[in-house]
């Protein structure tokens, strides 16, 4: 085994979208930076999450939208070409080849070291490379841990032994299984149940709780449940899994009730775990395996040179929020390297507050669910004075043009003392593109009196804003 040493201003563990952005901000700020990656440069989003999952869903969505418009519907004379859809998905992942991403890294002036990195003391990282050699990296200013998260497989008897799909297998499968069992009714479970049912699988979705998408407004889960059932998905609520086994090519799940369900594959979509087990946290006095505790600048308390950015801190496990945190952490690293004081107050350019105040998210089911800020239940739990406003999106002229018989719901949670929006949820076809307007309104705490003068164009679905404000005013 040979060992070499190199020094950079910033070392970034993990070359996913979060790590890439930390390194890019550091380099743009005049620092040198290196990415350490043991898998594909570009990370989970590029190859196993956001991009391939949305590519799997988009064809079915486009067909549904065409079929919802008289005249256009007559042109839809066949079914989706599944093989072509999978080929298109493969194109979005660059066929799981990261050469293009690595080229971007080089062009951005960022170093790249391939191998498994682990902390080896203050500002030191040792990288085990594929050829058996070790490379020691030293940071002049900061080490950013951007190792992300992985699918968590619950400790159900026999489940690990049946070789379940995680979201990685669900988004990269080369063909639709004849029967797919999905355990978990959150974002991933609902999206993948939607995708594979429409691509030819017979899907059974098992949700332990009494509704799908339990962290969103109840209307969202109810609409997605109704849609999945209409597609032919067997949705079983209040159904926990007691054990799993394989009988030949079949996966057999035994439910808490004693009933059994059978399939050819089982997708476990029940949550995430931090990728911190084997990155040397114990070498710097931290406990391996858990999420990193960080302050608002993403700095680990007590270790001013160490940052935990993105999924690894467990605050908001979404690609766009990881990138946001990366921009904030990168700016803080650059400022501190220059000897500048980093302000940790609310609207500072060096701190991450959006994931505390107003995290936007979209569930790309049919209907889509787009939400930001607090739900009514969360506002009540926080003891905030609030009023809930609902309006049927299908009653807006722009929605009736968008699709015949459009159905959907807009829900706004208004702080009745300050008269600002606490949260907004849209449920319906194409509502993802409405979300950023809501995010701006919630983050900026735009008073209702000012929103009244933000006039939506006619006839667009955005006119739902006018109807919500009119309903609030009474």
Question: Which of 322, 354, 386 is the C-terminal boundary of a domain?
Answer: 354
With respect to residue 75, please indicate whether it lies within any of the assigned structural domains. Answer: no
In this predicted model, what pLDDT tens digit does every residue of 372-393 receive, in sequence order? 999 999 999 999 999 999 999 9
β-strand pairing of 386-392 with 409-415: antiparallel
Residues of the chain with pLDDT under 50: none
Question: Which of 210, 238, 270 is the C-terminal boundary of a domain?
Answer: 270
State the Cα–Cα distance between residues 363 and 19, nearest whole angstrom. 24
Q: Let me know whether 280 and 146 are in one domain.
A: yes
With respect to residue 337, please indicate whether it lies within any of the assigned structural domains. Answer: yes
* Predicted pLDDT of residue 5: 65
Preceding omega of 367 cis (within 30 degrees of 0): yes
In this predicted model, what pLDDT tens digit does every residue of 324-362 receive, in sequence order? 999 999 999 999 999 999 989 888 899 999 988 799 999
* Predicted pLDDT of residue 173: 98
Q: Supply the DSSP symbol for 161.
A: G
State the Cα–Cα distance between residues 402 and 394, nearest whole angstrom. 10
Q: Let me know whether 263 and 171 are in one domain.
A: yes
Q: Let me know whether 337 and 409 are in one domain.
A: no
Domain that holds residue 296: 3-47+93-150+273-354
Cα atoms in the Cβ-side hemisphere of radius 13 Å centred on 130: 6
Q: How many domains does the chain have?
A: 3
How open is the CA angle 222-223-225, to the nearest 5 degrees? Answer: 65
Question: Which of 354, 378, 410 is the C-terminal boundary of a domain?
Answer: 354
In this predicted model, what pLDDT tens digit does every residue of 398-413 receive, in sequence order? 999 999 999 999 999 9
Q: Let me know whether 169 and 247 are in one domain.
A: yes
With respect to residue 404, please indicate whether it lies within any of the assigned structural domains. Answer: yes
Is 309 in contact with 329 (CB distance < 8 Å)?
A: yes
With respect to residue 68, please indicate whether it lies within any of the assigned structural domains. Answer: no
State the Cα–Cα distance between residues 247 and 327, nearest whole angstrom. 49
* Predicted pLDDT of residue 4: 62
Q: Let me know whether 103 and 170 are in one domain.
A: no
With respect to residue 63, please indicate whether it lies within any of the assigned structural domains. Answer: no
With respect to residue 447, please indicate whether it lies within any of the assigned structural domains. Answer: yes
Q: Let me know whether 322 and 227 are in one domain.
A: no
Provide the CATH number for the domain around residue 350: 3.50.50.60
Provide the CATH number for the domain around residue 437: 3.30.390.30
Is 267 in contact with 192 (CB distance < 8 Å)?
A: yes
Q: Let me know whether 312 and 438 are in one domain.
A: no
Q: Let me know whether 266 and 400 are in one domain.
A: no
State the Cα–Cα distance between residues 53 and 361, nearest whole angstrom. 15
Q: Let me know whether 284 and 217 are in one domain.
A: no
Q: What is the DSSP string of 61-118?
A: HHHHHHHTSTTTGGG--S---HHHHHHHHHHHTGGG--HHHHHHHHHTT-EEEESEEE
Q: Let me know whether 281 and 133 are in one domain.
A: yes
pTM: 0.95
State the Cα–Cα distance between residues 321 and 14, nearest whole angstrom. 16
* Predicted pLDDT of residue 3: 59
Q: Let me know whether 406 and 460 are in one domain.
A: yes
With respect to residue 64, please indicate whether it lies within any of the assigned structural domains. Answer: no
How open is the CA angle 51-370-275, to the nearest 5 degrees? Answer: 50
Q: What is the DSSP string of 331-386?
A: HHHHHHHTT-----STT-TT---HHHH---EEE-SSSEEEEEE--HHHHHHTT--E
Q: Let me know whether 259 and 372 are in one domain.
A: no
With respect to residue 81, please indicate whether it lies within any of the assigned structural domains. Answer: no
């Amino acid at each position: 085994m040979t060992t070499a040493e190199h020094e950079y201003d910033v070392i970034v563990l993990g070359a996913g979208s979060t790590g890439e952005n930390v390194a890019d901000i550091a380099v743009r700020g005049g620092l040198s930076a290196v990415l350490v990656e043991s898998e594909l440069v570009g990370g989970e989003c590029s190859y196993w999450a956001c991009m391939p999952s949305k590519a799997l869903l988009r064809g079915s969505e486009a067909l549904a939208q065409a079929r919802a418009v008289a005249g256009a519907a007559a042109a839809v004379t066949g079914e989706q070409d599944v093989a072509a859809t999978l080929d298109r998905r493969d194109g979005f992942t660059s066929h799981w080849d990261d050469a293009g991403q690595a080229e971007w890294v080089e062009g951005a002036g960022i170093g790249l070291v391939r191998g498994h990195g682990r902390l080896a003391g203050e500002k030191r990282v040792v990288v085990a490379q594929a050829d058996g050699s070790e490379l020691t990296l030293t940071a002049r200013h900061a080490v950013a841990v951007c190792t992300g998260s992985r699918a968590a497989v619950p400790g159900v008897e026999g489940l690990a032994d049946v070789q379940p799909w995680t979201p990685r297998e669900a988004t990269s499968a080369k063909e639709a299984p004849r029967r797919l069992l999905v355990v978990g009714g959150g974002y991933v479970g609902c999206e993948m149940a939607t995708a594979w049912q429409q691509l030819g699988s017979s899907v059974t979705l098992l949700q332990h709780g009494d509704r799908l998408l339990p962290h969103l407004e109840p209307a969202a889960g109810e609409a997605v449940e109704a849609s999945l059932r209409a597609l032919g998905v067997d949705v079983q609520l209040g159904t926990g899994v007691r054990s799993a086994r394989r009988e030949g090519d079949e996966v057999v799940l035994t439910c808490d009730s004693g009933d059994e369900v059978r399939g050819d594959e089982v997708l476990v979509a029940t949550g995430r775990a931090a990728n911190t087990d084997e990155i040397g946290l114990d070498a710097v006095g931290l406990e391996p395996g858990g999420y990193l505790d960080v302050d608002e600048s993403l700095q680990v308390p007590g270790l001013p040179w160490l940052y935990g950015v993105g999924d690894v801190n467990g605050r908001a496990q979404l690609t766009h929020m990881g990138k946001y945190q990366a921009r904030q952490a990168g700016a803080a690293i650059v400022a501190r390297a220059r000897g500048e004081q980093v302000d940790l107050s609310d609207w500072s350019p060096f701190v991450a507050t959006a994931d505390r105040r107003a995290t936007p998210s979209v569930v790309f089911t049919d209907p889509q669910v787009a939400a930001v800020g607090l739900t009514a239940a969360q506002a009540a739990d926080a003891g905030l004075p609030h009023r809930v406003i609902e309006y049927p999106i299908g009653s807006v002229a722009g929605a009736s043009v968008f699709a015949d018989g459009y159905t959907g719901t807009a829900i706004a949670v208004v702080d009745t003392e300050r008269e600002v929006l606490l949260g907004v949820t849209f449920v319906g076809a194409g509502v993802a593109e409405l979300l950023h307007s809501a995010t701006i309104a919630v983050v900026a705490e735009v008073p209702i009196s000012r929103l009244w003068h933000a006039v939506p164009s006619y006839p667009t679905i955005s006119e739902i804003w006018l109807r919500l404000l009119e309903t609030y005013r009474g």
